[in-house]
Amino acid sequence: MKKAFALLPASVIGMVLLLIACDRDSDSQPSPATRYIKSYGTIVHLQIEGGFYGIIAANGSRYNPVNMPDSLTRDSLPVYFEGEIQKDVATIQIWGEVIELSEIRTREHP
């Protein structure tokens, strides 16, 4: 019986060290705050919070670009776009996923 109690502190220490190691592993692989999108879509003008331009992708997803070029701010304009979804950015529009465009260009309707 004394041997069982003697092993108890070692078991507790081992479990604590294991929990610390597991926690450190999760910190070393941070979850991505962004993801990259490549898609076709259509620019839309929305009358929300003073008006802004968004993109509705071919699959129906809605994107709120933080860096839409003025030259492409035309309602119903078909585009190809690429960019990173910004999970840690909020806007006053509260519409679609916030995206920072790395490329956007006009295209013909399919």
The rounded distance, in Å, linking the Cα atoms of 51 and 49 is 6
- Quick: pLDDT tens for 80-96: 999 999 988 888 888 99
Q: 34 pLDDT exceeds 70?
A: no
Q: Mean pLDDT in the chain?
A: 79
How far is C-alpha 83 from the geometric centre of its chain's CA atoms? 10
The rounded distance, in Å, linking the Cα atoms of 23 and 11 is 18
The rounded distance, in Å, linking the Cα atoms of 70 and 82 is 17
How far is C-alpha 57 from the geometric centre of its chain's CA atoms? 16
Q: 108 pLDDT exceeds 50?
A: yes
Q: 11 pLDDT exceeds 70?
A: no
**The two three-digit tokens of residue 96, written as one number:** 């679609």
- Quick: pLDDT tens for 40-52: 999 999 998 889 9
Q: Which residues on neighbouring strands pair with residue 37, listed in sequence order?
A: 83
